[in-house]
Structure 1
Amino acid sequence: MSLSDFTDKRRQPTRPPEFRGENFDRDFDSNTLFYDAVQVDKSRVALFAPPFFNLTRDIATTTFISGSGTCKARARHLDRHAQLWLDIAEHAGPIQALGDLGSFTFPVSPNYSQIFRDRRVIFTMSKDNPIEWILDWVRFNRDIHGADAVLIYDNGSSAYDAATLSAALRSVPGIDCSVVMEWPFKYGPQGANSWDHWDSDFCQLGAWEHARWRFLQHARSAMNSDIDELVLSKTGKSVFEAAEQSRTGLVRYRGRWIIGIDDGVRDDMRKAPHRHADFSILMPPDYKISQFGLRRDANECLPKWTVVPSRCPVHAQWHVHSIFSWWASYFCTRQFSFRHFREIGSNWKYQRTHRVPLDPQVHREDRALLDAFQRVDWEN
């Protein structure tokens, strides 16, 4: 639902102007009121939205009317995300909203959690990643971890359409269920650095909560992973199995970068597109003192996670690198780690593909990764 459909009001950013950067206004989502309205269960509808900011009072005074009558919305204000929960029964039809913000009507999307029931699901957001990369990511997680379902939020790809990607996913043996959810919203401006001004990138956080409630409520377990990330196990156990057998229903793990090495071949002579299995060199650690006075590896990747959705507290928020407001997400296991492939990407965020000459004193092959590669059927 877009504000421009019924009002001149727009979402105003909270970031001070001096920290916005030259493309901030272009990238900021001022127009999306909410992404989707979903029948979460038989008696409730949830609206998933960017944070309301200056629109908060207008939303609070809005009345929602369905076939079952009038109801006020219960708001949840989360990190860079907002939700409105309404007590509305299934099949109530379109919902009308009346208030200071204006008058508008919207449909309710059905709940598709049933199609992922008891599945081990990998889910991600992608934009214009080559389909072969996506299929390799699926094949790896199928053969190494036993994934049998895929959920992809496509953030406005122009290289192919959702139907083409869906058909490719359906061609992968062993994947019994796949969904491509079109998610054509602005991703949003990033923070100024690793810590400051992370306040305007709403898109992915909205998608993750949407995935949780519309698709994954009944999944056996679900892995949050990017296309350029592959999870390794130190014990041979599947990460899905580990989450399902854990005391909390969650496993969280850190990552290491896998890089390309300059082998003297010109870029225009390399085969394209390169694939995950073309890379196996670990980026060396770079130990520094953090702002909290702790020694940490600056080349280590922020954690990712796999969860049993039904065991995740209702109040918790599915976040990119953790699950907020849940004590179990404060810890990382050493039994799993993921490999983050620097050259499997479009450089949308920053330049990642500068190669350096091989230095045997610094660089080493990742034997665990190479062993995992041998267990993957990359062509089927």
Structure 2
Amino acid sequence: MRLASKNSVVAADSRHVICRTNSASLSDFTDKRREATRPSAFRSENFERDFDSNTLFYDAVQVSKSKVALFAPPFFNLARDVATTTFISGAGTRKARTRRLDRHAQLWLDIPEHAGPIQALGELGSFAFPVSPNESEMFRDRRVIFTMSKDNPIEWILDWVRFNRDSHGADAVLIYDNGSSAYDSATLSAALRSVEGIRCSVVMEWPFKYGPQGANSWDHWDSDFCQLGAWEHARWRFLQNARSAMNSDIDELVLSKSGKSVFEAAEQSWTGLVRYRGRWIIGIDDGIRDNMHKAPHRHADFSILMPPKYQFSRLVMRRDANECLPKWTVVPARCPTHAQWHVHSIFSWWASYFCTRDFSFRHFREIGSNWKYQRTNRVPFDPSIHREDRALMDAFKRVDWDN
């Protein structure tokens, strides 16, 4: 039997903490591994390296006073072994209820608080694990921005926080750090603690493989488990009591047509959800790029909108191919329990089919490391197609970038 013993919470102070998972790795107790479902013909050169075959589950969380949930990649070939596993704790012997979601799985157990470590017995082997506490009280009644980040310069992260603080009233931050090597969690947490007006923050260490991407916009999205697992984990471990929560990347800033906060809009919506589309902000080759002394460049250095590119979709509908897929802000307590928090929508919830025109976000092409694809190639300014985003420029003026 193996007992995973990890410190789940490291407190810098009571309001700004670093959290860790109580995960289970197959290699610690069995020779079995998760097998990919993608046909070999559609696997990239680095597919095997990037695929997470070893993580059985990311974390075990006391999601309520009477329930524990295990958040996991999909089980695939391991499903039968997992289904026959018995879980034993101070509360007795339990079988898990399995939720199968898009690129994500959960095991739910009827185990009360303070029941101690859980032992798993089954065909996969025998192992034990502690349960991570529920930190939802930390974010009670907070307006939270949450994201996943890896090695983004801290200057970018703080600019993203300050913008959302001054534009929308964000007062709390949850960052899933996906294995940064440029700095440690303590450095990032200290930086967040220095931002005025941020009442609490969590740096959640999430050191799991992100997973291979799809072949294009539509095909073979079957192996990138990491972020979908993180978003459901965020929902149940941290955000159940949040006043509202915004799903946003570091390179995305949300604009309001009326000046109204996107958090306020979600809170006042009869569904508890607002979803909105995005436009790209690009860099222009002005001949001085190599002479820029800012390191790194910042969001406020860019303001040119990428021009629309209209084409017909698979459903023969005219669409702007340069438009970004939607993002969303939600009141967690009003989200149906069966729904799945996804990157661009909330699955299995009818309210997520609609987008509002009252908000949109700007996606900064040069605030990124090109980890997914090369996107920072600049083009010469063409006054016939390029225009400055005045709404963005006005929003920048309302931000205190220094505090």
**TM score, norm. by length of structure 1:** 0.99
Paired position in structure 2 for 1:170: 193
Task: Note the aligned Cα RMSD (angstroms).
Answer: 0.6
Written as runs of structure 1 = structure 2, the 5 A alignment for 1:130-145 is: 130-145=153-168
Q: Structure 1 residue 58 and structure 2 residue 98: aligned?
A: no
Aligned to 1:38: 61
Q: Does 1:289 align with 2:317?
A: no
Measure how far apart 1:266 and its partner are: 4.2
Indicate the larger mover: 268-277 or 278-287: 268-277
The residue number in structure 1 matching 2:257 is: 234
| Secondary structure of the corresponding residue to residue 328 of structure 2 | strand
1:271 aligns with 2:294: yes
CA distance in 2, matches of 1:153, 1:268: 34
Structure-1 separation of matches of 2:71 and 2:176: 15
Aligned with 1:354 (options 377, 382, 402):
377
Q: For residue 218 of structure 1, report the CA deviation from its aligned partner.
A: 0.2
Matched, 1:222 2:241: no
Give how far 1:21 is off: 1.0
Q: Does residue 105 in structure 1 map to residue 132 in structure 2?
A: no
Q: Secondary structure at the match of 1:41?
A: coil
Q: Deviations over 1:83-115 (max 9, x none)?
A: 000000000000000011111100000000000
Q: 1:369 to 1:266 in 2, by over 3 A?
A: closer
Q: Which amino acid aligns with 1:176?
A: R
Bigger mean CA deviation after superposition, 257-266 or 308-317: 257-266
> What displacement does 1:354 show?
0.4
1:245 maps to 2:245: no
Please name the residue that 2:17 is paired with. none
Match of 2:148 in 1: 125
Following TM superposition, by how much is the alpha carbon of 1:268 offset from its aligned partner in structure 2, in angstroms? 5.6
Cα distance per residue 1:160-187 (max 9 Å; x no partner): 0000000000000000000000000000
Q: Deviations over 1:11-39 (max 9, x none)?
A: 00000000011000000000000000000
State the distance in 2 between where 1:266 and 1:212 align.
Answer: 41
Shift of 1:270: 4.4
- CA distance in 2 between partners of 1:123 and 1:353 (Å): 25
Matched, 1:92 2:111: no
Q: What residue ranges of structure 2 are gaps of 5+ in the alignment?
A: 1-23
Deviation at 1:352, TM superposition (A): 1.1
Match of 1:306 in 2: 329
- Cα gap change, 1:269 to 1:237, in 2 (>3 Å): closer
CA distance in 2, matches of 1:299, 1:270: 30
Identity %: 87
Read off the aligned partner of 1:257 and give its amino acid letter: W
CA separation in 2, counterparts of 1:192 and 1:317?
Answer: 23
1:73 aligns with 2:96: yes
1:323 paired residue number: 346
Q: Does 1:379 align with 2:397?
A: no
Q: Distance in 2 between matches of 1:134 and 1:313?
A: 31
| Code of the aligned partner of 1:164 | T
Q: Which amino acid in the other structure matches residue 199 of structure 2?
A: D
> Counterpart of 1:162 in structure 2: which amino acid?
S
Residue in structure 2 matched with residue 184 of structure 1 by the alignment: 207
In structure 2, the CA distance between the partners of 1:239 and 1:266, relative to structure 1 (3 Å rule), is closer
1:20-66 C-alpha deviation (Å, 9 max, x unpaired): 11000000000000000000000000000000000000000000000
Once residues 7 and 150 of structure 1 are traced to their aligned partners in structure 2, the CA distance between those partners, rounded to angstroms, is 37
Displacement of 1:271 in angstroms is: 2.4
Q: For 2:69 and 2:49, how far apart are their aligned partners in 1?
A: 29
AA aligned to 2:369 is S
The answer for the alignment partner of 2:12 in structure 1 is none
Change (3 A) 1:367 1:269: closer
| Equivalent position to 1:146, from 147, 158, 169 | 169
Corresponding residue SS for 1:277: helix
Q: Which runs of 5+ in 1 are unaligned?
A: none
CA distance in 1, matches of 2:105, 2:291: 46
Looking at structure 2, the residues matched to 366 and 104 of structure 1 have their Cα atoms a distance apart, in angstroms, of 56
| 1:292-335, Cα deviation, whole Å (9 max, x unpaired) | 10000000000000000000000000000000000000000000
**1:132-165: CA deviations, max 9, x gaps?**
0000000000000000000000000000000000
Q: Is it true that 1:3 corresponds to 2:26 in the alignment?
A: yes
CA distance, structure 2, for counterparts of residue 266 and residue 163 of structure 1: 33
Q: Look up the equivalent residue of 2:365 and give its one-letter code.
A: R
Partner Cα separation in structure 1 for residue 357 and residue 289 of structure 2: 38
Segments of 4+ moved more than 4 angstroms: none
Name the CA distance, whole Å, in 1 between partners of 2:103 and 2:382: 42
Q: Which residue of 1 aligns with 2:216?
A: 193
SS of structure 2 residue aligned to 1:122: strand
Shift of 1:269: 4.3
The separation in 2 between residues aligned to 1:267 and 1:23, in whole angstroms, is 32
